[in-house]
Structure 1
């Protein structure tokens, strides 16, 4: 068959196209669900992955065919494998009583926050993180919202939390409880670093 082009029936082309669209829709749903669970904005993930926010939005809605390079970058920043993206199923790590510090993912967010994921329990919808905020660093210059509920404990230093436009200064030992759908901004205006532990729940009761 050298020199001959392979002819694919129109019905087969349509079936392949439909299957491809379903796959990219599934990938987009998995990316969006995981991004929201990890409290990462579209802009933050886009910046970290080297793509535009508008492109990432199209990917999440299954309206474009991202390159393998882009998917790999997105997956790396979310802790997702390509297999997990395509299957729509997250592989739960075995339940263990002890998690060693060397096995806890350590990432630096696009905003400059050093975040160590102490424990992520997908089954129960709980994520526990240890965050370090350098001087002049915070989660968002204008505030963010996302699903769920969160508790934060200030371990060291001073942080300012702004909830619905109202600022409160937090010191070591202070605890904040917050429905995550409220506009909130967490910022370190002091000259020293601040550290916190956050307990994030995927769902918040109404």
Structure 2
């Protein structure tokens, strides 16, 4: 049986496969395409982050080639995911209605955890996240702004939410709702992790 990811061949970044290996390559490609779309990245942007050619991402996603171990690790670094996580999540084979906690896709990093619901659902019109902001977590001094609306509710801890010129510290049971085009920022200035559920439309992840 062919290796899940190519480790030989004349091309150090990709390994052409046939037969059973082509099926494995298609699976790698489908997984990569799914994750890239879940992160809202174009092939060009992912290639830039990974330091590979645009054609490399396109060839992998189409199932035309398998990446080497090194190339795949480099690409996954651009998605903040390791090899184990890449091969462990399940791709949807049909419409799903329920997701276990372990099936939510982690798209955050460092002190910010964003676990996306239904990342494998094509054409989602809503984005729902289970968020954990560790003490000191901050979405950044440069305020966020994008099309759509968003809302959320604090389940535990406290969260400072800035919307335009307004600022409010929200605690357990408190909520927010605003037009996402208004510059906004989220910070956990407390001593405990803040856990909240948020939703936004249209999806940005």
Give the TM interval when normalised to the shorter protein: 0.5 to 0.7
Q: Does structure 1 residue 188 correspond to structure 2 residue 191?
A: no
- Structure 1 residues 137-156: aligned runs within 5 Å: 137-156=137-156
Instruction: Report which of the two structures shows the higher radius of gyration computed on alpha carbons.
Output: 1
Whole-Å separation in 2 of the counterparts to 1:179 and 1:46: 32
* Alpha-carbon distance in 1 for matches of 2:174, 2:105: 26
Q: Please give the per-residue CA displacement for 1:147-176, whole angstroms capped at 9, x wherever unaligned.
A: 221111111011000111321111111111
Checking the alignment, whether the CA contact within 8 Å between 1:119 and 1:129 is kept in structure 2 is: no
* 1:68-107 alignment runs, 5 A limit: 69=71, 72-73=75-76, 76-77=79-80, 94-107=94-107
Query: Which structure: greater helix fraction?
Result: 1
Q: Normalization by structure 2: what TM-score?
A: 0.56
Distance in 1 (CA, whole Å) between partners of 2:39 and 2:115 is 16
Cα drift, residue 31 of structure 1: 10
Question: CA–CA distance in 2 between the matches of 1:152 and 1:160?
Answer: 13
Q: Contact 2:149–2:180 at 8 Å: present in 1 too?
A: yes
How many residues were matched structurally?
143
Unaligned runs of 5+ in 1: 1-29, 52-58, 79-90
* Residues 36 and 147 in structure 1, CA contact (< 8 A), matched pair in contact too: no
* Structure 1 segments of 4+ aligned residues over 2 angstroms from their partners: 30-37, 64-78, 91-94, 106-110, 118-124
Partner Cα separation in structure 1 for residue 103 and residue 37 of structure 2: 23
Q: Following TM superposition, by how much is the alpha carbon of 1:200 offset from its aligned partner in structure 2, in angstroms?
A: 1.4
CA apart distance, 1:185 = 0.3
**CA shift for structure 1 position 192:** 1.0
Structure 1 residues 28-55: Cα deviation after superposition (integer angstroms, max 9, x where no partner): xx99976559xxxx8xx899x466xxxx
Task: Note the aligned Cα RMSD (angstroms).
Answer: 3.7
Contiguous gaps of at least 5 residues in structure 2: 1-33, 58-70, 82-90
Structure-1 residue corresponding to 2:114: 115
Q: TM-score, normalized by length of structure 1?
A: 0.55
1:130 counterpart = 2:133: no
The offset of 1:119, in angstroms, is: 2.8
